[in-house]
Structure 1
Amino acid sequence: MDLRQLETFVAVAKFKSFSKAADHLYLTQPTVSSHIANLEKELNTILINRTNRKISLTKAGDILYDYALNILNLKDGAIYKLGEYKGKIVGNIEIASSTIPEQYILPQLFCQFNKEFPDVTFQMLHYDSQQVVEGIIQDRIDFGIVGAEIPHPQLNYVELINDELVLVTPATSTYASFDEEISIEEILNERFIFREIGSGTRKLVESKLADFKFDISSLNVVAYIENTEAIKQCIRSGLGVSFLSQKAITDELKAGSLKSFKIKDLNLERKFYFVYHKYRNPSPLESTFQNFVFNYFQKANASD
């Protein structure tokens, strides 16, 4: 039983797929299959059910999984401590994020972390808030940053930073007479662009509109688009208006290419959260990054 076999086993268990595990580990699928077969042969037991094209762990696999994680964490801890001793900490940080943190928060965070730990690499995964939470619960994702707190007994959420959604329109004469704060009745006839189902932005807008007895289906929605940058391009082109994060339109407001408005009596403030599994032991590098994230945002909030 070697470490490469255990890494492969954990990857297959996490992704519930031989092909996805192969992609994650930069191996061929036959190599992944060989590692699992050799591990099962050595332990004289079946670890993975392969029936009906669905991958799941057997009872023996469930027992091995926790031990495998601990062994790999010990290996990572040894590498970390040796790197610390030699003055060169190496490793890879994997973090999943919803759209706004991915595009407007994490790049600067990575840059600051890289200044202290230049030999650490990053892998940023794009999921909506719901997918990030499900991935952490299922042990496919280590931790993430999301724009909606979706309660679950196995998760911890740490508040990082405040945000606010605003109505974003083209910077055209049509909206020149609008006040900075407008009533919800003034926008009911607008053509709307909404985010995809599962996004924190859409969940918040739907929830707040429901307080006014409005449903998205009653609005004139012309498009559902996942990418915030694409939504901004569509707004500029005149396709419609949308609710977007204030953080996403800072440059456009300065350049005068878009306009933003608050809606009276519609509180669209929210927070971004760092989310992680309550009962999973992070590796030393992951703990270092996690503490860096907390300190980074504490300093950022104190300076505001």
Structure 2
Amino acid sequence: MRLEYIRSFISVVNCKSFSLAARQIFLSQPTISTHIKQLESELGVQLLVRSTKDVILSEAGVIFYPFAVRLLETENEALSQIHKTEMAVKGTVSIATSSVPGNYILPQFLSCSRKAYPDINYRISEGDSAQVLQSILHFETDIGIGSIKSANEKCMCLPLVKDQIVLAAPNTEEYRNMKGNFPPERLKQETYVLREPGSGTRLATESIEQALDLHSKPLKVALQAESSELVKRGVEQGIGVAFISSLAVKESVEQGKVLKFEFPDIDTSRQLYLLYHKDRVMTVPVTTTIKILRQYCQSI
């Protein structure tokens, strides 16, 4: 089984296209097709299914893909160890992140990281915490950041940073008159902007709603958004109030665009985790990123 066949297979899966994969790894499309056919012939199974729109993994391909990734990672790690006398840390690190760390932690971290390790390149994908977890378990990314801790023993979950869920409200006279103390009985009368199901923020919010006894009747929801940034913008525009990460609204509160309310009588904290697969081969750029990301988050 030749590594160039494995490399072509992974590129087609990631690009969902033979032509895009060919451009990505600088080979011709017929060469890519030959590599896939040779690999399928050696394994005796069909790995890819072509549709009119894209290319997807077959049932056998889903099983084989994580092993293919690990084969290439082992090659990269071997080369890294052979050439470890070279001081520069070089390579690409893929990070799957939920919206809060993706928008309010990673940009600043990446700026600091680039100064210390300019030859580490990052590929960032954003989804909700459940999607981040799945990308780690399916070997789709090197590391993940989210607020859902996996029960799967293969998924390593390292505490990264503490966050707090607060209530954000438009900066209007009505809410300013509350002097920072939002009457709990008023919560049932409000119109809400919510995150989508599956997000860590939504899961944390549901436990807070339960603690505040907001489930006796359905909440009035004006907007459901797929990122905390959209939720925050909705509050700024006066669409409604929102339970949201304190990290997400920190800048808007400082700028006077929204007001922040806390509920000290209940636990509104949550933990953000750094995730990676136990069986994934950790390259030097990945281990370096984990180390400096944890160090950075200690200073937040």
Indicate the residue corresponding to 1:55 in structure 2. Answer: 57
Change (3 A) 1:113 1:83: farther
Change (3 A) 1:175 1:156: same
Deviations 1:27-57 (A, max 9, x none): 687664432113234x263352649986235
Provide the alpha-carbon RMSD of the alignment.
Answer: 3.1
Change (3 A) 1:261 1:63: closer
Indicate the residue corresponding to 1:125 in structure 2. Answer: 125
| Contact residue 129 and residue 198 of structure 1 kept, 8 A | yes
Indicate the residue corresponding to 1:19 in structure 2. Answer: 17
Q: Kindly state the Cα deviation for residue 92 of structure 1 after the two structures are TM-superposed.
A: 0.8
Amino acid across the alignment from 1:296:
Y
SS of the equivalent of 1:218 reads: coil
Amino acid across the alignment from 1:294:
R
SS of the equivalent of 2:8 reads: helix
| Contact residue 190 and residue 220 of structure 2 kept, 8 A | yes
The structure with the largest helix share of the pair is 1
Q: Kindly state the Cα deviation for residue 181 of structure 1 after the two structures are TM-superposed.
A: 3.2
SS of the equivalent of 1:85 reads: coil
Indicate the residue corresponding to 2:134 in structure 1. Answer: 134
| Contact residue 40 and residue 47 of structure 1 kept, 8 A | yes
Change (3 A) 1:46 1:111: same
Output the CA distance in 1 between the equivalents of 2:33 and 2:10. Answer: 13
Indicate the residue corresponding to 1:220 in structure 2. Answer: 220
Q: Are 1:178 and 2:140 matched, yes or no? A: no
Q: Kindly state the Cα deviation for residue 69 of structure 1 after the two structures are TM-superposed.
A: 4.0
Alignment gaps of 5+ in structure 2? none
Alignment of 1:164-175 (within 5 A): 164-175=164-175
Deviations 1:36-81 (A, max 9, x none): 113234x26335264998623539x957963x44542233124434
TM-score (norm 2): 0.85
Indicate the residue corresponding to 1:270 in structure 2. Answer: 270
TM-score (norm 1): 0.84
Change (3 A) 1:206 1:62: closer
| Contact residue 74 and residue 281 of structure 2 kept, 8 A | no
Output the CA distance in 1 between the equivalents of 2:288 and 2:250. Answer: 31
Q: Kindly state the Cα deviation for residue 8 of structure 1 after the two structures are TM-superposed.
A: 2.7
Indicate the residue corresponding to 1:231 in structure 2. Answer: 231
Output the CA distance in 1 between the equivalents of 2:193 and 2:65. Answer: 48
Deviations 1:7-30 (A, max 9, x none): 2334566x6x84399569826876
Output the CA distance in 1 between the equivalents of 2:21 and 2:50. Answer: 22
| Contact residue 8 and residue 21 of structure 1 kept, 8 A | no
SS of the equivalent of 2:144 reads: strand
Output the CA distance in 1 between the equivalents of 2:140 and 2:252. Answer: 36
SS of the equivalent of 1:96 reads: strand
Deviations 1:117-176 (A, max 9, x none): 111211110010000111211222222000232432221111111111111111110112
Deviations 1:185-225 (A, max 9, x none): 12211110001111111111112222344339711111101
SS of the equivalent of 1:166 reads: strand
Indicate the residue corresponding to 2:114 in structure 1. Answer: 114
Q: Kindly state the Cα deviation for residue 89 of structure 1 after the two structures are TM-superposed.
A: 2.8
Amino acid across the alignment from 1:48:
L
Indicate the residue corresponding to 1:202 in structure 2. Answer: 202
Amino acid across the alignment from 1:121:
N
| Contact residue 192 and residue 242 of structure 2 kept, 8 A | yes
Deviations 1:79-99 (A, max 9, x none): 434664343332111000000
Change (3 A) 1:105 1:118: same
Alignment gaps of 5+ in structure 1? none
Using the TM superposition, name which of 133-142 and 190-199 deviates more. Answer: 133-142
| Contact residue 10 and residue 65 of structure 1 kept, 8 A | no
Output the CA distance in 1 between the equivalents of 2:263 and 2:117. Answer: 43
Output the CA distance in 2 between the equivalents of 1:4 and 1:259. Answer: 56
Amino acid across the alignment from 2:58:
S
Alignment of 1:285-296 (within 5 A): 285-296=285-296
Amino acid across the alignment from 2:228:
T
